[in-house]
Structure 1
Amino acid sequence: MTQQPFSRPGAIDLSALKRTAAPPPSAAPGGGGGGAAAPGGSAYSLPVDEQGFQSVLEASMTAPVVLVFHSPSRSPESSQLAQDVSTVAEEYDGRFLAATVDIDANPQIAAAMQIPQVPLMLVLLDGRPVTQPIPGAPPIEDIRALFNQLAQQLTAQGITTRHQPRGPVPTLGAEGEEPEVDPRYAAAQDALGEGDIDKAVAEYQKLVDTNPADAEAVAGLAMAKVLQRTQGVDLNAARQAAADNPDDVDAQTLVADLDLLGGHVEDAFGRLIRLVARTSDDDRAKARDHLLGLFAAVGNDDPRVLAGRRDLASALF
Protein backbone atom coordinates (compact mmCIF):
# COMPACT_ATOMS: atom_id res chain seq x y z
CA MET A 1 0.00 0.00 0.00
CA THR A 2 5.20 2.04 -6.81
CA GLN A 3 6.42 4.81 -4.36
CA GLN A 4 3.29 6.50 -3.06
CA PRO A 5 0.78 5.63 -0.35
CA PHE A 6 -1.49 3.76 -2.74
CA SER A 7 -0.21 1.31 -5.33
CA ARG A 8 -2.18 0.33 -8.41
CA PRO A 9 -1.11 -3.20 -9.39
CA GLY A 10 -3.96 -3.96 -11.80
CA ALA A 11 -7.67 -4.16 -12.28
CA ILE A 12 -9.78 -6.83 -10.61
CA ASP A 13 -10.66 -9.84 -12.74
CA LEU A 14 -14.45 -10.07 -12.70
CA SER A 15 -14.73 -12.97 -15.14
CA ALA A 16 -15.98 -15.23 -12.35
CA LEU A 17 -18.92 -12.93 -11.81
CA LYS A 18 -20.02 -12.57 -15.42
CA ARG A 19 -22.22 -15.66 -15.25
CA THR A 20 -24.56 -13.97 -12.79
CA ALA A 21 -27.78 -12.52 -14.06
CA ALA A 22 -28.11 -8.78 -14.45
CA PRO A 23 -29.96 -7.10 -11.59
CA PRO A 24 -33.56 -6.09 -12.19
CA PRO A 25 -34.17 -2.41 -12.93
CA SER A 26 -35.53 -1.83 -9.45
CA ALA A 27 -32.43 -3.18 -7.70
CA ALA A 28 -30.51 -0.78 -5.50
CA PRO A 29 -27.00 0.15 -6.73
CA GLY A 30 -25.09 -1.81 -4.10
CA GLY A 31 -27.27 -4.85 -4.06
CA GLY A 32 -28.85 -6.22 -0.95
CA GLY A 33 -28.10 -9.90 -1.15
CA GLY A 34 -25.38 -9.91 1.47
CA GLY A 35 -27.43 -12.11 3.79
CA ALA A 36 -29.35 -11.34 6.94
CA ALA A 37 -26.20 -11.17 9.06
CA ALA A 38 -24.54 -8.52 6.93
CA PRO A 39 -24.47 -5.00 8.31
CA GLY A 40 -27.28 -2.90 6.89
CA GLY A 41 -26.62 -0.09 4.47
CA SER A 42 -26.47 3.53 5.54
CA ALA A 43 -25.15 6.80 4.15
CA TYR A 44 -21.61 5.60 3.45
CA SER A 45 -21.76 1.84 3.87
CA LEU A 46 -23.63 -0.95 2.12
CA PRO A 47 -23.77 -4.73 1.88
CA VAL A 48 -22.67 -5.99 -1.53
CA ASP A 49 -23.86 -8.97 -3.56
CA GLU A 50 -22.55 -10.42 -6.82
CA GLN A 51 -24.88 -8.31 -8.94
CA GLY A 52 -23.91 -5.06 -7.25
CA PHE A 53 -20.16 -5.62 -7.08
CA GLN A 54 -19.48 -3.85 -10.37
CA SER A 55 -21.11 -0.69 -9.03
CA VAL A 56 -18.78 -0.80 -6.03
CA LEU A 57 -15.77 -0.90 -8.35
CA GLU A 58 -17.23 2.04 -10.23
CA ALA A 59 -17.74 3.92 -6.95
CA SER A 60 -14.01 3.53 -6.25
CA MET A 61 -13.33 5.72 -9.28
CA THR A 62 -14.67 8.61 -7.19
CA ALA A 63 -13.10 7.93 -3.80
CA PRO A 64 -11.71 4.90 -1.92
CA VAL A 65 -13.90 1.92 -1.12
CA VAL A 66 -13.02 -0.24 1.89
CA LEU A 67 -14.10 -3.81 1.19
CA VAL A 68 -14.68 -6.05 4.19
CA PHE A 69 -15.08 -9.78 3.67
CA HIS A 70 -16.88 -11.59 6.48
CA SER A 71 -18.61 -14.87 7.25
CA PRO A 72 -21.31 -14.91 9.95
CA SER A 73 -21.28 -18.72 10.08
CA ARG A 74 -17.52 -19.26 10.24
CA SER A 75 -16.23 -16.12 11.93
CA PRO A 76 -18.59 -14.04 14.06
CA GLU A 77 -15.77 -11.58 14.78
CA SER A 78 -15.50 -10.91 11.06
CA SER A 79 -19.07 -9.61 11.00
CA GLN A 80 -18.22 -7.36 13.94
CA LEU A 81 -15.32 -6.03 11.87
CA ALA A 82 -17.74 -5.30 9.01
CA GLN A 83 -19.96 -3.37 11.39
CA ASP A 84 -17.03 -1.44 12.89
CA VAL A 85 -15.66 -0.46 9.47
CA SER A 86 -19.13 0.71 8.46
CA THR A 87 -19.34 2.79 11.64
CA VAL A 88 -15.97 4.44 11.04
CA ALA A 89 -16.72 5.09 7.36
CA GLU A 90 -19.78 7.10 8.43
CA GLU A 91 -17.52 9.36 10.49
CA TYR A 92 -15.62 10.51 7.37
CA ASP A 93 -18.60 12.02 5.54
CA GLY A 94 -17.92 10.38 2.19
CA ARG A 95 -14.12 10.20 2.13
CA PHE A 96 -14.62 6.42 2.20
CA LEU A 97 -17.38 3.98 1.30
CA ALA A 98 -17.54 0.76 3.33
CA ALA A 99 -18.67 -2.23 1.26
CA THR A 100 -19.30 -5.43 3.22
CA VAL A 101 -19.32 -8.83 1.53
CA ASP A 102 -20.81 -11.91 3.21
CA ILE A 103 -18.78 -14.62 1.48
CA ASP A 104 -21.23 -17.33 2.61
CA ALA A 105 -23.97 -15.69 0.54
CA ASN A 106 -21.61 -14.48 -2.22
CA PRO A 107 -18.90 -17.11 -2.79
CA GLN A 108 -18.21 -15.94 -6.34
CA ILE A 109 -16.98 -12.57 -5.09
CA ALA A 110 -14.57 -14.33 -2.73
CA ALA A 111 -13.37 -16.50 -5.62
CA ALA A 112 -12.94 -13.55 -7.99
CA MET A 113 -11.00 -11.61 -5.36
CA GLN A 114 -9.02 -14.71 -4.27
CA ILE A 115 -9.87 -14.16 -0.61
CA PRO A 116 -7.79 -16.61 1.45
CA GLN A 117 -9.50 -16.03 4.80
CA VAL A 118 -11.92 -13.94 6.80
CA PRO A 119 -11.96 -11.43 8.28
CA LEU A 120 -10.15 -9.43 5.59
CA MET A 121 -10.10 -5.77 4.54
CA LEU A 122 -9.01 -4.37 1.19
CA VAL A 123 -8.95 -0.76 -0.05
CA LEU A 124 -9.95 -0.04 -3.66
CA LEU A 125 -9.26 3.11 -5.65
CA ASP A 126 -9.74 3.61 -9.39
CA GLY A 127 -11.27 0.14 -9.60
CA ARG A 128 -8.16 -1.60 -8.24
CA PRO A 129 -6.78 -2.82 -4.93
CA VAL A 130 -4.37 -0.20 -3.60
CA THR A 131 -3.34 -1.85 -0.35
CA GLN A 132 -2.18 -5.28 0.60
CA PRO A 133 -5.03 -7.34 2.10
CA ILE A 134 -5.41 -6.51 5.80
CA PRO A 135 -6.26 -9.68 7.77
CA GLY A 136 -7.72 -9.97 11.24
CA ALA A 137 -10.28 -8.02 13.21
CA PRO A 138 -8.56 -5.06 14.90
CA PRO A 139 -10.45 -3.05 17.51
CA ILE A 140 -12.43 -0.08 16.30
CA GLU A 141 -9.85 2.43 17.56
CA ASP A 142 -7.20 0.78 15.37
CA ILE A 143 -9.61 0.98 12.44
CA ARG A 144 -10.03 4.70 13.12
CA ALA A 145 -6.24 5.09 13.15
CA LEU A 146 -6.00 3.29 9.79
CA PHE A 147 -8.70 5.50 8.26
CA ASN A 148 -6.95 8.57 9.65
CA GLN A 149 -3.68 7.57 8.00
CA LEU A 150 -5.40 6.87 4.69
CA ALA A 151 -7.24 10.20 4.82
CA GLN A 152 -3.98 12.07 5.42
CA GLN A 153 -2.32 10.25 2.53
CA LEU A 154 -5.23 11.12 0.27
CA THR A 155 -5.00 14.78 1.25
CA ALA A 156 -1.25 14.80 0.66
CA GLN A 157 -1.84 13.48 -2.87
CA GLY A 158 -4.53 16.04 -3.59
CA ILE A 159 -7.36 13.48 -3.58
CA THR A 160 -10.29 15.23 -1.91
CA THR A 161 -13.28 13.77 -3.72
CA ARG A 162 -16.12 12.23 -1.72
CA HIS A 163 -18.80 9.62 -2.23
CA GLN A 164 -22.41 10.69 -2.46
CA PRO A 165 -24.57 9.30 0.38
CA ARG A 166 -26.07 5.89 -0.42
CA GLY A 167 -28.76 6.22 2.20
CA PRO A 168 -30.09 8.62 4.81
CA VAL A 169 -27.41 10.93 6.18
CA PRO A 170 -27.41 10.95 10.00
CA THR A 171 -28.98 14.06 11.44
CA LEU A 172 -26.22 16.30 12.75
CA GLY A 173 -28.20 19.38 13.62
CA ALA A 174 -28.55 22.71 11.88
CA GLU A 175 -24.84 22.98 11.23
CA GLY A 176 -24.31 19.32 10.34
CA GLU A 177 -23.99 19.75 6.59
CA GLU A 178 -20.93 18.27 4.94
CA PRO A 179 -18.18 20.90 4.98
CA GLU A 180 -16.67 22.09 1.76
CA VAL A 181 -12.99 21.49 1.09
CA ASP A 182 -10.98 24.22 2.82
CA PRO A 183 -9.74 26.58 0.07
CA ARG A 184 -6.55 27.24 2.01
CA TYR A 185 -5.24 23.84 0.97
CA ALA A 186 -6.45 24.01 -2.64
CA ALA A 187 -3.17 25.20 -4.17
CA ALA A 188 -1.13 22.47 -2.47
CA GLN A 189 -3.68 19.77 -3.28
CA ASP A 190 -3.96 20.90 -6.89
CA ALA A 191 -0.18 20.74 -7.20
CA LEU A 192 -0.16 17.19 -5.86
CA GLY A 193 -2.94 16.25 -8.22
CA GLU A 194 -0.83 17.54 -11.10
CA GLY A 195 2.22 15.63 -9.88
CA ASP A 196 4.13 18.81 -8.99
CA ILE A 197 5.38 17.73 -5.59
CA ASP A 198 7.94 20.53 -5.27
CA LYS A 199 5.19 23.11 -5.69
CA ALA A 200 3.01 21.28 -3.17
CA VAL A 201 5.83 21.39 -0.62
CA ALA A 202 6.22 25.14 -1.22
CA GLU A 203 2.48 25.76 -0.87
CA TYR A 204 2.22 23.74 2.35
CA GLN A 205 5.32 25.51 3.68
CA LYS A 206 3.62 28.88 3.16
CA LEU A 207 0.65 27.69 5.22
CA VAL A 208 2.86 26.41 8.01
CA ASP A 209 4.93 29.60 8.05
CA THR A 210 1.72 31.60 8.36
CA ASN A 211 0.22 29.41 11.05
CA PRO A 212 2.52 26.81 12.66
CA ALA A 213 -0.46 25.52 14.67
CA ASP A 214 -2.34 24.41 11.53
CA ALA A 215 -2.18 20.66 12.12
CA GLU A 216 -3.54 19.73 8.70
CA ALA A 217 -0.99 21.93 6.93
CA VAL A 218 1.82 20.49 9.08
CA ALA A 219 0.72 16.95 8.24
CA GLY A 220 0.33 17.83 4.56
CA LEU A 221 3.80 19.38 4.44
CA ALA A 222 5.36 16.39 6.17
CA MET A 223 3.72 13.92 3.80
CA ALA A 224 4.55 16.03 0.74
CA LYS A 225 8.20 16.04 1.83
CA VAL A 226 8.11 12.25 2.09
CA LEU A 227 6.79 12.12 -1.47
CA GLN A 228 9.47 14.59 -2.56
CA ARG A 229 12.30 12.57 -1.00
CA THR A 230 11.16 9.32 -2.60
CA GLN A 231 10.55 10.56 -6.15
CA GLY A 232 12.17 8.19 -8.64
CA VAL A 233 13.69 5.99 -5.94
CA ASP A 234 14.30 2.32 -6.76
CA LEU A 235 12.74 0.44 -3.86
CA ASN A 236 14.91 -2.67 -4.14
CA ALA A 237 18.13 -0.67 -4.46
CA ALA A 238 17.18 1.47 -1.46
CA ARG A 239 16.48 -1.56 0.69
CA GLN A 240 19.72 -3.23 -0.32
CA ALA A 241 21.69 -0.08 0.52
CA ALA A 242 20.05 0.06 3.94
CA ALA A 243 20.80 -3.61 4.57
CA ASP A 244 24.44 -3.13 3.57
CA ASN A 245 24.86 0.05 5.66
CA PRO A 246 22.82 -0.31 8.87
CA ASP A 247 24.28 2.84 10.44
CA ASP A 248 24.01 5.05 7.34
CA VAL A 249 21.39 7.61 8.37
CA ASP A 250 20.52 8.63 4.82
CA ALA A 251 20.01 5.02 3.71
CA GLN A 252 17.90 4.15 6.76
CA THR A 253 15.72 7.27 6.62
CA LEU A 254 15.01 6.70 2.92
CA VAL A 255 13.74 3.18 3.58
CA ALA A 256 11.69 4.51 6.50
CA ASP A 257 10.05 6.94 4.07
CA LEU A 258 9.29 4.11 1.67
CA ASP A 259 7.88 1.99 4.49
CA LEU A 260 5.60 4.84 5.52
CA LEU A 261 4.32 5.32 1.99
CA GLY A 262 3.71 1.59 1.72
CA GLY A 263 1.54 1.68 4.84
CA HIS A 264 4.13 -0.03 7.07
CA VAL A 265 4.01 2.69 9.70
CA GLU A 266 5.31 0.69 12.64
CA ASP A 267 8.20 -0.63 10.53
CA ALA A 268 9.17 2.91 9.56
CA PHE A 269 9.07 4.11 13.16
CA GLY A 270 10.86 1.05 14.50
CA ARG A 271 13.70 1.36 11.99
CA LEU A 272 14.43 4.94 13.02
CA ILE A 273 13.98 4.35 16.74
CA ARG A 274 16.57 1.58 16.56
CA LEU A 275 18.82 3.89 14.56
CA VAL A 276 18.50 6.58 17.24
CA ALA A 277 19.37 4.03 19.91
CA ARG A 278 22.65 2.98 18.26
CA THR A 279 23.90 6.34 16.95
CA SER A 280 25.11 9.50 18.62
CA ASP A 281 25.73 13.22 18.15
CA ASP A 282 24.79 14.56 14.68
CA ASP A 283 23.68 11.19 13.32
CA ARG A 284 21.35 10.67 16.25
CA ALA A 285 19.91 14.18 15.92
CA LYS A 286 19.36 13.68 12.19
CA ALA A 287 17.57 10.34 12.71
CA ARG A 288 15.46 11.78 15.53
CA ASP A 289 14.41 14.83 13.51
CA HIS A 290 13.49 12.66 10.54
CA LEU A 291 11.38 10.46 12.79
CA LEU A 292 9.59 13.50 14.18
CA GLY A 293 8.75 14.47 10.61
CA LEU A 294 7.21 11.04 10.02
CA PHE A 295 5.21 11.41 13.23
CA ALA A 296 3.79 14.66 11.83
CA ALA A 297 2.95 12.98 8.51
CA VAL A 298 0.94 10.27 10.24
CA GLY A 299 -0.69 12.59 12.78
CA ASN A 300 0.20 13.24 16.38
CA ASP A 301 -3.07 11.76 17.68
CA ASP A 302 -2.50 8.42 15.96
CA PRO A 303 -1.96 5.61 18.53
CA ARG A 304 1.10 4.42 16.61
CA VAL A 305 2.64 7.86 16.92
CA LEU A 306 1.92 7.95 20.65
CA ALA A 307 3.61 4.56 21.03
CA GLY A 308 6.47 5.69 18.81
CA ARG A 309 7.06 8.78 20.94
CA ARG A 310 7.30 6.59 24.04
CA ASP A 311 9.78 4.30 22.33
CA LEU A 312 11.80 7.27 21.08
CA ALA A 313 12.01 8.66 24.59
CA SER A 314 13.33 5.30 25.81
CA ALA A 315 15.90 5.20 23.00
CA LEU A 316 17.09 8.71 23.82
CA PHE A 317 17.28 8.35 27.59
Structure 2
Amino acid sequence: MGLTTEEHKAVEAFRKNVVEPSMTKLVILDFWAEWCGPCKALTPVLEKIAAQYADKGVVLVKVNVDEERFIAAQFQIQSIPTVYAMFQGQPVANLTNARTESQLAGIIDQLLDKLPIQAGDAEPQGPDIAPLLDMGEEVLAEGDGERAAGIFAQILDMAPDSVAALAGLVRALTAAGKTAEAQALLDDLPPEIASDPLLERARSALALVADKADDSEIAGLRAAVEADGDDHAARFDLAVALFAAGSRDEAAEHLLAIVRADKDWNEGAARARLLQIFEAVGLEDPWVSATRRKLSAALFG
Protein backbone atom coordinates (compact mmCIF):
# COMPACT_ATOMS: atom_id res chain seq x y z
CA MET A 1 0.00 0.00 0.00
CA GLY A 2 1.34 3.41 -0.96
CA LEU A 3 4.41 2.01 -2.71
CA THR A 4 5.85 3.49 -5.86
CA THR A 5 6.21 1.42 -9.02
CA GLU A 6 9.94 0.91 -8.38
CA GLU A 7 9.28 -0.12 -4.78
CA HIS A 8 6.67 -2.63 -5.96
CA LYS A 9 9.25 -4.10 -8.34
CA ALA A 10 11.81 -4.30 -5.54
CA VAL A 11 9.36 -6.08 -3.26
CA GLU A 12 8.34 -8.55 -5.96
CA ALA A 13 11.97 -9.31 -6.79
CA PHE A 14 12.75 -9.84 -3.11
CA ARG A 15 9.75 -12.14 -2.74
CA LYS A 16 10.84 -14.21 -5.73
CA ASN A 17 14.56 -14.33 -4.93
CA VAL A 18 14.49 -14.56 -1.13
CA VAL A 19 11.08 -15.15 0.46
CA GLU A 20 9.88 -17.97 -1.80
CA PRO A 21 13.14 -19.98 -1.68
CA SER A 22 13.28 -19.49 2.10
CA MET A 23 9.99 -21.38 2.51
CA THR A 24 11.93 -24.63 2.24
CA LYS A 25 15.59 -23.59 2.20
CA LEU A 26 18.00 -21.59 4.32
CA VAL A 27 18.80 -18.36 2.46
CA ILE A 28 22.03 -16.52 3.28
CA LEU A 29 21.14 -12.89 2.59
CA ASP A 30 24.20 -10.69 2.01
CA PHE A 31 23.84 -6.89 1.93
CA TRP A 32 26.85 -5.38 0.14
CA ALA A 33 28.06 -2.51 -2.10
CA GLU A 34 30.71 -2.13 -4.76
CA TRP A 35 32.70 0.41 -2.70
CA CYS A 36 32.82 -1.80 0.41
CA GLY A 37 36.25 -3.41 0.86
CA PRO A 38 35.19 -5.82 3.66
CA CYS A 39 32.27 -6.93 1.47
CA LYS A 40 34.68 -7.95 -1.27
CA ALA A 41 36.79 -9.88 1.22
CA LEU A 42 33.72 -11.70 2.56
CA THR A 43 32.20 -12.58 -0.82
CA PRO A 44 34.52 -15.52 -1.65
CA VAL A 45 33.91 -16.99 1.81
CA LEU A 46 30.13 -16.78 1.44
CA GLU A 47 30.30 -18.21 -2.09
CA LYS A 48 32.38 -21.14 -0.90
CA ILE A 49 30.13 -21.89 2.07
CA ALA A 50 27.00 -21.70 -0.10
CA ALA A 51 28.55 -24.12 -2.59
CA GLN A 52 29.56 -26.54 0.17
CA TYR A 53 26.07 -26.52 1.73
CA ALA A 54 24.03 -26.36 -1.49
CA ASP A 55 23.01 -30.02 -1.26
CA LYS A 56 21.74 -29.38 2.28
CA GLY A 57 19.35 -26.66 1.16
CA VAL A 58 21.45 -23.52 1.61
CA VAL A 59 21.43 -20.76 -1.01
CA LEU A 60 23.16 -17.37 -1.20
CA VAL A 61 21.36 -14.19 -2.30
CA LYS A 62 23.20 -10.87 -2.56
CA VAL A 63 21.51 -7.46 -2.22
CA ASN A 64 23.39 -4.40 -3.48
CA VAL A 65 22.34 -1.66 -1.03
CA ASP A 66 22.97 1.08 -3.61
CA GLU A 67 20.64 -0.55 -6.12
CA GLU A 68 18.10 -1.94 -3.62
CA ARG A 69 17.77 0.99 -1.23
CA PHE A 70 14.14 0.25 -0.41
CA ILE A 71 14.91 -3.34 0.63
CA ALA A 72 17.95 -2.22 2.62
CA ALA A 73 15.78 0.35 4.39
CA GLN A 74 13.20 -2.29 5.33
CA PHE A 75 15.98 -4.26 7.04
CA GLN A 76 17.30 -1.04 8.64
CA ILE A 77 20.80 -1.71 7.32
CA GLN A 78 23.21 0.63 9.10
CA SER A 79 26.54 -0.81 7.93
CA ILE A 80 27.83 -3.36 5.45
CA PRO A 81 28.50 -6.14 5.06
CA THR A 82 25.38 -7.27 6.90
CA VAL A 83 24.47 -10.94 6.53
CA TYR A 84 21.32 -12.73 7.71
CA ALA A 85 20.14 -16.31 7.55
CA MET A 86 16.53 -16.35 6.36
CA PHE A 87 13.94 -19.11 6.78
CA GLN A 88 10.26 -18.91 5.84
CA GLY A 89 10.58 -15.22 5.09
CA GLN A 90 12.10 -14.24 8.45
CA PRO A 91 15.66 -13.64 9.69
CA VAL A 92 16.63 -16.55 11.95
CA ALA A 93 20.25 -15.58 12.60
CA ASN A 94 22.57 -12.63 12.14
CA LEU A 95 25.75 -13.90 10.46
CA THR A 96 27.42 -10.50 10.16
CA ASN A 97 30.13 -11.15 12.74
CA ALA A 98 31.01 -14.55 11.25
CA ARG A 99 33.79 -13.79 8.77
CA THR A 100 35.60 -17.12 8.44
CA GLU A 101 34.52 -20.42 6.90
CA SER A 102 34.63 -22.20 10.24
CA GLN A 103 32.50 -19.56 11.97
CA LEU A 104 29.88 -19.57 9.23
CA ALA A 105 29.85 -23.36 8.99
CA GLY A 106 29.33 -23.66 12.74
CA ILE A 107 26.29 -21.38 12.75
CA ILE A 108 24.79 -22.96 9.63
CA ASP A 109 25.24 -26.46 11.08
CA GLN A 110 23.30 -25.37 14.17
CA LEU A 111 20.51 -23.88 12.07
CA LEU A 112 20.23 -26.98 9.90
CA ASP A 113 19.90 -29.11 13.03
CA LYS A 114 17.05 -26.97 14.38
CA LEU A 115 15.08 -26.01 11.27
CA PRO A 116 13.12 -28.24 8.85
CA ILE A 117 15.28 -27.27 5.87
CA GLN A 118 14.52 -29.19 2.69
CA ALA A 119 17.67 -30.79 1.32
CA GLY A 120 18.83 -29.66 -2.07
CA ASP A 121 18.02 -32.95 -3.81
CA ALA A 122 14.49 -31.67 -4.54
CA GLU A 123 16.06 -29.80 -7.43
CA PRO A 124 18.84 -30.97 -9.70
CA GLN A 125 22.19 -29.89 -8.31
CA GLY A 126 25.16 -28.84 -10.35
CA PRO A 127 28.63 -30.32 -9.94
CA ASP A 128 30.66 -29.52 -6.84
CA ILE A 129 33.05 -26.93 -8.22
CA ALA A 130 34.42 -25.65 -4.90
CA PRO A 131 37.53 -27.92 -4.95
CA LEU A 132 38.30 -26.89 -8.53
CA LEU A 133 37.89 -23.21 -7.65
CA ASP A 134 40.36 -23.70 -4.79
CA MET A 135 42.77 -25.42 -7.15
CA GLY A 136 42.53 -22.61 -9.70
CA GLU A 137 43.18 -19.97 -7.03
CA GLU A 138 46.17 -21.90 -5.69
CA VAL A 139 47.70 -22.29 -9.16
CA LEU A 140 47.10 -18.61 -9.89
CA ALA A 141 48.70 -17.62 -6.57
CA GLU A 142 51.76 -19.64 -7.61
CA GLY A 143 52.04 -17.46 -10.72
CA ASP A 144 50.98 -19.97 -13.38
CA GLY A 145 48.32 -17.95 -15.17
CA GLU A 146 48.16 -20.26 -18.20
CA ARG A 147 47.39 -23.35 -16.15
CA ALA A 148 44.97 -21.46 -13.89
CA ALA A 149 43.11 -20.22 -16.96
CA GLY A 150 42.70 -23.81 -18.12
CA ILE A 151 41.25 -24.81 -14.75
CA PHE A 152 38.79 -21.92 -14.63
CA ALA A 153 37.74 -22.56 -18.23
CA GLN A 154 37.06 -26.19 -17.31
CA ILE A 155 34.91 -25.05 -14.36
CA LEU A 156 32.89 -22.79 -16.67
CA ASP A 157 32.25 -25.78 -18.96
CA MET A 158 30.80 -27.57 -15.93
CA ALA A 159 29.03 -24.57 -14.39
CA PRO A 160 28.51 -21.78 -16.96
CA ASP A 161 26.80 -19.53 -14.38
CA SER A 162 29.72 -19.52 -11.92
CA VAL A 163 30.73 -15.90 -11.40
CA ALA A 164 33.71 -17.04 -9.30
CA ALA A 165 35.03 -19.13 -12.19
CA LEU A 166 34.48 -16.33 -14.70
CA ALA A 167 36.29 -13.83 -12.49
CA GLY A 168 39.08 -16.34 -11.95
CA LEU A 169 39.43 -16.84 -15.69
CA VAL A 170 39.73 -13.09 -16.27
CA ARG A 171 42.41 -12.78 -13.60
CA ALA A 172 44.25 -15.87 -14.89
CA LEU A 173 44.27 -14.58 -18.48
CA THR A 174 45.53 -11.25 -17.17
CA ALA A 175 48.35 -12.98 -15.29
CA ALA A 176 49.21 -14.95 -18.43
CA GLY A 177 49.54 -11.73 -20.43
CA LYS A 178 46.39 -12.39 -22.47
CA THR A 179 44.85 -9.04 -21.65
CA ALA A 180 42.84 -8.78 -24.87
CA GLU A 181 41.05 -12.06 -24.10
CA ALA A 182 40.47 -10.97 -20.52
CA GLN A 183 39.01 -7.63 -21.65
CA ALA A 184 36.76 -9.39 -24.17
CA LEU A 185 35.27 -11.50 -21.38
CA LEU A 186 34.58 -8.40 -19.30
CA ASP A 187 33.06 -6.59 -22.29
CA ASP A 188 30.61 -9.46 -22.85
CA LEU A 189 29.35 -9.67 -19.25
CA PRO A 190 25.58 -9.88 -18.74
CA PRO A 191 24.32 -6.73 -16.97
CA GLU A 192 23.01 -8.70 -13.99
CA ILE A 193 26.50 -9.82 -12.93
CA ALA A 194 28.70 -7.00 -14.27
CA SER A 195 28.91 -5.27 -10.87
CA ASP A 196 29.57 -8.41 -8.83
CA PRO A 197 32.49 -7.81 -6.39
CA LEU A 198 34.41 -10.78 -7.79
CA LEU A 199 34.30 -9.27 -11.26
CA GLU A 200 35.22 -5.84 -9.91
CA ARG A 201 38.35 -7.46 -8.49
CA ALA A 202 39.11 -9.00 -11.89
CA ARG A 203 38.52 -5.64 -13.56
CA SER A 204 40.99 -3.99 -11.17
CA ALA A 205 43.60 -6.65 -11.90
CA LEU A 206 43.27 -6.02 -15.63
CA ALA A 207 43.44 -2.24 -15.23
CA LEU A 208 46.73 -2.54 -13.35
CA VAL A 209 48.46 -4.28 -16.26
CA ALA A 210 46.74 -2.51 -19.14
CA ASP A 211 49.76 -0.35 -20.04
CA LYS A 212 52.62 -2.81 -19.82
CA ALA A 213 56.05 -1.21 -20.33
CA ASP A 214 58.84 -2.89 -22.28
CA ASP A 215 62.23 -3.78 -20.79
CA SER A 216 63.90 -0.61 -22.06
CA GLU A 217 61.28 1.61 -20.43
CA ILE A 218 61.68 -0.23 -17.12
CA ALA A 219 65.46 0.08 -17.36
CA GLY A 220 65.17 3.82 -17.99
CA LEU A 221 62.86 4.31 -15.01
CA ARG A 222 65.12 2.22 -12.80
CA ALA A 223 68.11 4.35 -13.83
CA ALA A 224 66.18 7.54 -13.02
CA VAL A 225 65.35 6.25 -9.52
CA GLU A 226 68.93 5.18 -8.90
CA ALA A 227 70.17 8.61 -10.00
CA ASP A 228 67.72 10.47 -7.75
CA GLY A 229 66.06 8.59 -4.91
CA ASP A 230 63.73 11.54 -4.30
CA ASP A 231 62.27 11.38 -7.79
CA HIS A 232 58.93 10.04 -6.60
CA ALA A 233 57.30 10.38 -10.02
CA ALA A 234 59.90 8.10 -11.62
CA ARG A 235 59.68 5.67 -8.70
CA PHE A 236 55.90 5.58 -8.98
CA ASP A 237 56.04 4.95 -12.74
CA LEU A 238 58.64 2.23 -12.12
CA ALA A 239 56.34 0.56 -9.56
CA VAL A 240 53.43 0.66 -12.01
CA ALA A 241 55.58 -0.86 -14.75
CA LEU A 242 57.02 -3.53 -12.46
CA PHE A 243 53.60 -4.66 -11.27
CA ALA A 244 52.35 -4.85 -14.84
CA ALA A 245 55.40 -6.99 -15.63
CA GLY A 246 54.60 -9.37 -12.77
CA SER A 247 57.13 -8.12 -10.18
CA ARG A 248 54.65 -7.30 -7.45
CA ASP A 249 57.16 -7.52 -4.56
CA GLU A 250 59.51 -4.96 -6.07
CA ALA A 251 56.58 -2.79 -7.17
CA ALA A 252 55.21 -2.75 -3.63
CA GLU A 253 58.61 -1.87 -2.15
CA HIS A 254 58.93 1.16 -4.40
CA LEU A 255 55.43 2.35 -3.50
CA LEU A 256 56.16 1.82 0.19
CA ALA A 257 59.38 3.83 -0.22
CA ILE A 258 57.34 6.76 -1.51
CA VAL A 259 54.89 6.48 1.40
CA ARG A 260 57.76 6.38 3.91
CA ALA A 261 59.37 9.45 2.33
CA ASP A 262 56.21 11.48 1.76
CA LYS A 263 52.86 9.79 2.33
CA ASP A 264 50.99 12.81 0.94
CA TRP A 265 52.96 12.95 -2.32
CA ASN A 266 50.66 13.54 -5.30
CA GLU A 267 47.58 13.41 -3.03
CA GLY A 268 48.56 10.01 -1.62
CA ALA A 269 48.98 8.35 -5.03
CA ALA A 270 51.37 5.66 -3.79
CA ARG A 271 49.02 4.59 -1.01
CA ALA A 272 46.05 4.61 -3.40
CA ARG A 273 47.96 2.45 -5.88
CA LEU A 274 48.84 -0.05 -3.18
CA LEU A 275 45.19 -0.29 -2.15
CA GLN A 276 44.25 -0.88 -5.78
CA ILE A 277 46.84 -3.67 -5.96
CA PHE A 278 45.49 -5.19 -2.75
CA GLU A 279 42.00 -5.30 -4.22
CA ALA A 280 43.23 -6.86 -7.46
CA VAL A 281 45.32 -9.54 -5.74
CA GLY A 282 42.60 -10.27 -3.17
CA LEU A 283 42.17 -8.90 0.33
CA GLU A 284 42.35 -12.43 1.76
CA ASP A 285 45.70 -13.19 0.10
CA PRO A 286 48.62 -13.70 2.58
CA TRP A 287 50.86 -11.43 0.48
CA VAL A 288 48.28 -8.65 0.77
CA SER A 289 48.06 -9.11 4.55
CA ALA A 290 51.84 -8.88 4.91
CA THR A 291 52.15 -5.88 2.60
CA ARG A 292 49.22 -4.13 4.28
CA ARG A 293 51.09 -4.38 7.60
CA LYS A 294 54.09 -2.72 5.96
CA LEU A 295 51.83 0.04 4.65
CA SER A 296 50.33 0.59 8.11
CA ALA A 297 53.83 0.82 9.60
CA ALA A 298 54.85 3.32 6.92
CA LEU A 299 51.76 5.45 7.52
CA PHE A 300 51.57 5.33 11.32
CA GLY A 301 54.90 3.94 12.54
Using structure 1 for the length normalisation, give the TM-score.
0.39
Name whichever structure is richer in helix by fraction: 2
Using structure 2 for the length normalisation, give the TM-score.
0.41
Q: Which has the larger radius of gyration?
A: 2
